[in-house]
Structure 1
Amino acid sequence: MTRHLHGILALLLVTLVWGTTFPAMKDLTGHFSAVWIILVRFALAALLLSPFLWRARAHDLRSGALLGVLLFFCFIFQVEGLALTSSNRNAFICGLNVLVVPLLGVLAGRLPERRIVLALAMSLAGLAALCWDGGGWGLGDSLALMCALCFGVYIKVMEVHTQRATNLLTVTAGQITTVAVCAALWLLAREVPGDAAARSAWFGGVVTAIGQHAWNFAYLGVVATAAIISLQTWGQSRTTANEAAVVYAFEPAAAAFFGYFWLGEAMTGRGWLGGLLLISGMIVSQWNSERRPAAALAPE
């Protein structure tokens, strides 16, 4: 096989693994708060990626810290939303983040291209079909939409900072470590009981529960975050931006597929029609768009 085909296959694997993270995290929301899931997942990934922080440039660390704060809020909205809706619906709505970047240009006074107007119309039709299939719009859907908005802003900021980066994996390791630190601070401020005895019992219960779900956390932290980022870097270096955009657009469909086998979540024909319209809108919005940095790394 050619170098190019190897790159396409690598990105297909990346997309499939990303699709599994939605049911994997949805499964954990029945036992843990969103911030615990984020903390354990990203702490594991940060530990594995920590060698890239050795002798890192200060500007790379600053970029990683800024991106990490944005990424933390992306995941807070995503996982909180997952607890209140199905994993496949959450994945389709979160996937709308690709439309946010061009829409930010509209807010800045630039007229949208025709492909963006078409993509937005397809996406709105897809959302309508998806809601028709799974019930009315709820809080979980609103949180997923907030996640999409945050991811869009994150991608725009990431484009700027990765172009200036000396070492992209250092920036990536920095942002993943920052997510873990933000989750720990959030946990201390909002969830840790004030009473010492209650705190000890609470912490012991959480540690026991983490041990019971260790394989799920290990998969999310080691495979779906740390390992898959390396594969993403390798695959994107061998493909074009348009090809990567088309492959990544199928992430929500992968999430729906794995959600069915992992959690028993099913979609009717209307739901799949809505999903197809959303995926089509994502592809149209990215086709022949400005090239993103070849190795702009964003965990899902």
Structure 2
Amino acid sequence: MASGGRPLWVYKGMILVAVLFWGLGTVVMKDTVASVPPSYLTGIRFLITGVLVALIFWKNFRRAFTPQALRSGIIFGVLLFAAYWTQTVGLISTTPGKSAFLTSVYVVMVPFLCWPFYKKRPTVFTIAAAALCLAGIGCVSVSGESFALGFGELMTLVCAVFFAMHIMYVNSVPGQLDMMGMTVIQFLTMGVLGLVAGFFTEPLPAAEVLLSGNFLFNLAYLVVFSSAVALIFQNIAVAHLPATTASLLLSLEAVSGAVFSVLLFGEMLTPLLLLGFAIIFAGIVTSEVGPGLWEKISARRQTEAAAVFPTGDELTTDSQEL
């Protein structure tokens, strides 16, 4: 039973629903960006999402009107806009399945980006995970007899860097600030940045496109399910689940994106591409599960050793040998 009074499977189910929404959202974005340029699509999507979430969490939004919260929310928005914009640009020339797996590499990037700031060396599991992800990216990048990362794949990897930077900055924000209120500011910032960038760099989408049934249906899905509902489910579930469990379930977004890409987009999964996806996923799982598992094993060994050697002298010697 979780602390919220509901069984753990309820919160696990919420993450799985969010993962399915995000996986399908990758395919929906691929379809939508074919008719609406990336900046305008990102701007319209997140401006509407920001307004919707602000109405739902109005009290939180009002509490975020302090200099520190406003500054943090805007920085959240700048980093996440860069992540979604590069991901959307990448989707123009890559498949939803590749996009989902390459985006998920951000999980492995976080410890390396934190290293120079927090002076905490990446663990052996993080290094192993990075090596696995590089090998998986290599498999994904092979086309015919040549090896090359296309523009779409490169932009998707850049988007993974921005996602990692966003997570790193969010984790550095003081806990007393209202995270949901700052999230609303983040969405609104993303919306404004998208519209401004679109105004200066992209042709204005035709009115008949923006009013077409296909675009409105896709936009409604991206706003309601892939953004607002998925975000709320994620925030609630992560607050009630062990971090390792939540991270592992969230990493299934890559698998969800690939499955929907095959079913709805018609992506062809060659044996080498499947191998690349499997290796990348193994790297993500290693990065998320390995350190926590090692800590549990080490703690158990110390407990057992303390029971045998109550003075702790032999335990200290044994630990130094390790």
Normalising to structure 2: TM-score of the pair?
Answer: 0.81
Cα distance in structure 2, aligned partners of 1:67 and 1:223: 21
Equivalent residue number for residue 210 of structure 1: 210
Q: 2:112 aligns with which of 86, 89, 103?
A: 103
Q: Determine which of 54, 77, 89 is the counterpart of 2:62.
A: 54
Aligned to 1:113: 123
Name the counterpart of 1:186: 197
**Which residue pairs with 1:223 in the alignment?**
225
What amino acid does structure 2 have at the position aligned with 1:111? R
The superposition leaves residues 257-290 of structure 1 with CA deviations (integer Å, 9 ceiling, x where unpaired) of 1111221112122212211111111121122658
Letter of the aligned partner of 1:208 in structure 2? E
The equivalent position to 1:5 in structure 2, one of 6, 9, 27, is 9
Say yes or no: does 1:72 pair with 2:81. Answer: yes
CA contact (8 A) 2:26 2:100 kept: yes
Q: Distance in 2 between matches of 1:106 and 1:223?
A: 35
Contact kept in structure 2, 1:57 and 1:166, CA below 8 Å: no
Deviations 1:158-209 (A, max 9, x none): 1112x434322101111011000111111222235xxxxxxxxx55x2x321
1:170 corresponds, among 149, 163, 181, to 181
Mean CA deviation greater in 236-245 or 50-59 = 50-59
2:234 to 226, 232, 235: 232
CA distance in 2, matches of 1:77, 1:236: 26
Give the counterpart letter for 2:151 in structure 1: L
**Aligned AA for 2:152?**
G
Tell me the residue number matched to 2:22.
Answer: 18
Higher Rg of the two aligned structures: 2
Q: Once the two structures are aligned, what percentage of the paired residues are identical?
A: 25
* Cα distance in 2 for residues equivalent to 1:24 and 1:112: 36
Instruction: Sort the Cα spacing of 1:60 and 1:95 in 2 relative to 1 into closer, same or farther, 3 A.
Output: same
What amino acid maps onto 1:57 in structure 2?
A: F
Instruction: Look up the match of 1:197.
Output: none
Aligned partners of 2:176 and 2:291: how far apart in 1? 22
Aligned pair in 2 of structure 1 residues 165, 260: CA closer, same or farther (>3 Å)?
A: farther
* Corresponding residue for residue 146 of structure 1: 158
Q: Using structure 1 for the length normalisation, give the TM-score.
A: 0.87
Deviation at 1:106, TM superposition (A): 4.0
User: Quick one: structure 1 residues 281 and 48, their matched pair in 2 at CA, closer, same or farther if it must change by over 3 Å?
Assistant: same
From 134, 141, 144, the counterpart of 1:131 = 141
User: Alignment length, in residue pairs?
Assistant: 278
Query: Cα 1:80–1:285, aligned 2, differ >3 Å: closer, same or farther?
Result: same
**Unaligned 5+ runs, structure 2:** 293-322
Which digits, 9 at most, give the CA deviation of each residue in 1:199-256, with x for residues without a partner? xxx55x2x32122110000100111111221111221122111001111111111001
Letter in 2 for 1:12: L
| Higher deviation after alignment, 15-24 or 261-270 | 261-270
Amino acid in the other structure paired with 1:21 = G
- CA deviation profile, 1:80-126 (whole Å, cap 9, x unmatched): 00001111111111111011111124445643211011101111111
Residue 144 of structure 1: CA displacement?
0.6
Q: Is the 8 A contact 1:99 1:282 kept in 2?
A: yes
Is the alpha carbon distance of 1:238 and 1:105 closer, same or farther for their aligned partners in structure 2, counting shifts above 3 Å?
closer
Matches within 5 A, 1:274-293: 274-287=276-289
Amino acid at match of 1:214: L
Report the Cα distance in structure 2 between the residues aligned to 1:250 and 1:142, rounded to whole angstroms: 22
Distance 1:3 1:133 in 2: 46
In structure 2, relative to structure 1, the CA distance for the partners of 1:178 and 1:126 (3 Å cut) is: same
Give the CA RMSD over aligned residues. 2.0
Query: How far apart in 2 are the matches of 1:261 and 1:76?
Result: 25
